[in-house]
Structure 1
Amino acid sequence: MKTKRKRLADRIIEYLVNNREDGKKRITEEMISRYFRVSRTPVREVLKYLEQEGLIQTRRGRGITFKEFSEEEIREIYDVRAVLEEFAIVQAVKNITQDDLKRLRSYVRMYNKAREKKDRTKGEEADHLFHNALIEISGNRYLSSLIKRIRLFSTVFKVGIDREVSRYKSKVDINPYSHTKIVKALATGNPEVAAEMIRNHILWARDYAIKSIRRKEVMKRRE
């Protein structure tokens, strides 16, 4: 995909994420075209690409929505992400500097502040900055593109989880393998410790996503 189309794809995903609050809101190609002030042709091309990538789905009468993933799909994608980010953090341990640690800690503070204010948008921004920084520090350019693509699926999962939390007033669990602990593991200079922490961090998120899907299905049956 050309750079201009790629930027539009990223902006459309962000638009869909930011409009997740109302799961019944119907988003159309025309609406997206008006919002970004671009013709419908490039929007249509990008939407087709995102659908082929398995990120969105277009249904008559429902408009454009994120795809709903099965437990098996979620498990497979998070397992791949765990392997890739574990490799990334092992490489990062070899390259990390005090300035890098300082930058990561600033993202941790940004994330924690967003959680306190219940600002999901800022929280997700801080989360992306943190994980992208880890990938950057690893120094592997090809790894970066692979992980960023996989993490797009995680973003889609979170949309469904947020709706489940909002609709059913579910409790939001906190990942015990926090960003703070990941930074501390990096600071030790021990690649095994850092690898274990990032692996547990991602696999906990995987299990939480699966648990949320099961909880949503139970609540639906009770309605």
Structure 2
Amino acid sequence: MDQPGGARIRTIGADHVALREQVLTELRRRIVDGEYGQGERLTETRLADDFGVSRNPVREALRVVEAEGFVQILPRRGAVVATLDDTAVRDLFAVRQQLETLAAGLAAERANADDVARLRRLLDDANKASEAKDFDQLAELNSAFHRAVIEVSGNRWLHSISTAMYHHVHWVFRVGAAQRAPHSTEEHIRLVDAIAAKDPEAASTAAGLHVAAAAKAALGQRPTA
């Protein structure tokens, strides 16, 4: 869309991506980043106004985020942002414990120098975001780091299984990012050092301790737990 002076405004519909996918991505992002808070009601009309689209792609996107566990459909209330209760958090970390320890061990066996350099760059970027107190970016980088470890593992099943899970990992991490960041950074460094040393046992142990510490922090930061 052209504006006076030749400037252009980028609209959602301008991208060559299905409109529902664009709405879904933005809806998920706003939930994960806390722009739509836990327990907040999300009507189709409101979301359509927020995104500047019709209600159809909103309705379709809501079905997906409901299936993913980000939204609940409640009687007489309609769609509301789900609440990260203790059971949901424990279940998430139980799966992470199994998945990430396996991925770390495989990554230590299979990583090359470029893989290790990539992981260290993500750590450097995360450290800069932490120093700048850019916790939205830090949460993005935290998830990117864990996805990278899984990619380095070379196990396509782990990669496929983890895709949806890391949206929720991002959500949980973002809630307590300010308090968790320094500890998470140290744990990530130990994990990358073990991968670089090609020590699968040490890498699996580092990953397991990291997930256990993250779970304890996530449950401890919950005022309603």
The answer, yes or no, to whether TM exceeds 0.5 is yes
Q: 2:144 aligns with which of 106, 116, 129?
A: 129
- Is residue 2:53 matched to residue 1:38? yes
Q: Is the counterpart of residue 106 in structure 1 residue 113 in structure 2?
A: no
Decide whether aligned partners of structure 1 residues 117 and 198 sit closer, same or farther in structure 2, where only a CA change above 3 A counts.
same
Look up the match of 1:191. 200
1:118 matched to 2:133: yes
**Who wins on radius of gyration, i.e. which is larger?**
2
- Tell me how far apart the structure 1 counterparts of residues 161 and 61 of structure 2 sit (CA, whole Å): 19
Partners in 2 of 1:217 and 1:25 — Cα distance? 16
CA distance in 2, matches of 1:184, 1:51: 38
Equivalents in 2 of 1:8, 1:112: separation in Å?
A: 31
Please point out which of 191, 196, 220 is paired with 1:211. 220
Q: Whole-Å Cα distance in 1 between the matches of residues 58 and 195 of structure 2?
A: 41
Q: 1:75 and 1:16, CA in 2 relative to 1: closer, same or farther beyond 3 A?
A: closer
AA matched with 2:183: N
Identity %: 29
Q: What's the RMSD between the two structures over aligned residues?
A: 2.9
1:172 paired to 2:179 = yes
Counterpart for residue 153 of structure 2? 138
Please report the TM-score for the alignment, with normalisation by the length of structure 2.
Answer: 0.78
TM-score, normalised by the number of residues in structure 1: 0.78
Q: CA offsets, 1:13-59, max 9 Å, x none?
A: 11223453877976543343344443211211221222233222356
Describe the SS at the equivalent of 1:118.
Answer: coil
**Range with bigger deviation, 28-37 or 117-126:** 28-37
Secondary structure of the corresponding residue to residue 172 of structure 1: helix
Q: Distance in 1 between matches of 2:171 and 2:40?
A: 16
Could you tell me which runs of 5 or more consecutive residues in structure 1 were left unpaired when the two chains were aligned.
166-170, 219-223
SS in structure 2 of the partner of residue 38 of structure 1: coil
Change (3 A) 1:89 1:116: same
* 1:133-187 alpha-carbon deviations (Å, 9 max, x no partner): 111111122211211222222233345x34xx9xxxxx82442652212111111
Q: Is the 1:54–1:67 contact (alpha carbons within 8 Å) kept by the matching residues of 2?
A: yes
CA distance in 1, matches of 2:170, 2:44: 21
Which residue identity lines up with residue 26 of structure 2 in the other structure?
Answer: R
Q: Is the 8 A contact 1:88 1:134 kept in 2?
A: yes
Find the residue that maps to 1:68 and give its secondary structure.
coil
When structure 1 is superposed on structure 2, of 27-36 and 200-209 the one drifting more is: 27-36
Amino acid at match of 2:224: E
Unaligned runs of 5+ residues in structure 2 are 1-16
CA distance in 2, matches of 1:10, 1:39: 16
Q: What is the number of residues matched between the two proteins?
A: 206
Aligned-partner Cα distance in 2 for 1:156–1:117: 20
1:76 is matched with 91
Question: Structure 1 residues 197, 63: closer, same or farther in 2, change over 3 A?
Answer: same
What CA distance in whole angstroms lies between the structure 2 residues aligned with 1:114 and 1:47? 31
